[in-house]
Structure 1
């Protein structure tokens, strides 16, 4: 497929275009700040069930997953009993998870939860070379109670003493905000090279080109 490249202009015209775009980027940043503030003001709902998760360190409750911190982010990963490999999209998200020390410094614990058994999780985790904490929700109602079903999502919990509350949930394209790979692609001239973009540099559907990182 032949597509046009960006126009070639003088340095002065490029700077003018850059400054015009920068104004829009700043507007977008401020809009995102307003949404983030509204997200922080969301009400919360009690999550009183203790649950029991299977971990490499033995059984743990939902409260235990906080590791003593006040806030907990849970990524609901699509790896189910009997699966030999996890969802490529979920795998993209885990590939993009940052070093936990930065979250821990702000009183946040991040963990990945899957309905698969612990041996199935550990096998896939070892294949991918991940070190992010994982736990198994096999045999408990946690995934169902979070409304995830057989799909994926991200939940946020807050601990007040020994009481646990759910404060946030997102799924579908809401997960894109946690994929830095897409943020990098969005600043390139060819973008994500997906059909919905106006760049004309691709025919793929959203996310259809994603692969596990050892399958490209």
Structure 2
């Protein structure tokens, strides 16, 4: 007897899936925000002349970029309690996403900052601009314009990485889908549906990032 599709079970549990999708977006946005902060601060220490700041930052980037995200989130959730640091699944997920995304953000932002020629900075100072004005108008904005596509692509990848957080029972889309699948035994319907939801989330974020790019980084029309 062939398998008969029945998406009715998914429709009945759709409110749960949509609420979990919102939680997934919340985890991603929180992780992105902290990752951006880590990226900016990390660039300052990564490019510092002091080896006490530069070497630990380089080590952090290499360790995070060369280990699986699953190992990182397990380390935070299961290993840190051995030292008295206990976090709930949501906090662990956000911190793990921030640390993972921050390591990549450091290198992406550093590449953008280093793409700005010293001659442009010197020209800005020669025109009488203050250092803060030079940093804002000549370094920061052009650098972010250059790295924006790479940074947003990394953030979308980080959003999809939230699915790994189900391994520590964090409340997000995949964990809810697993619970629904175990209740209904409708694997195809459930996972096909959340695939569409993840695609919708990614499409929404790409549209949002595109709108932000046009608003902040578009060149003036002559």
TM-score band by shorter chain is under 0.3
Greater strand fraction, Structure 1 or Structure 2: 1
What TM-score results when the alignment is normalised by the length of structure 2? 0.25
The one of the two structures with greater contact order (alpha-carbon pairs below 8 A, sep at least 6) is 2
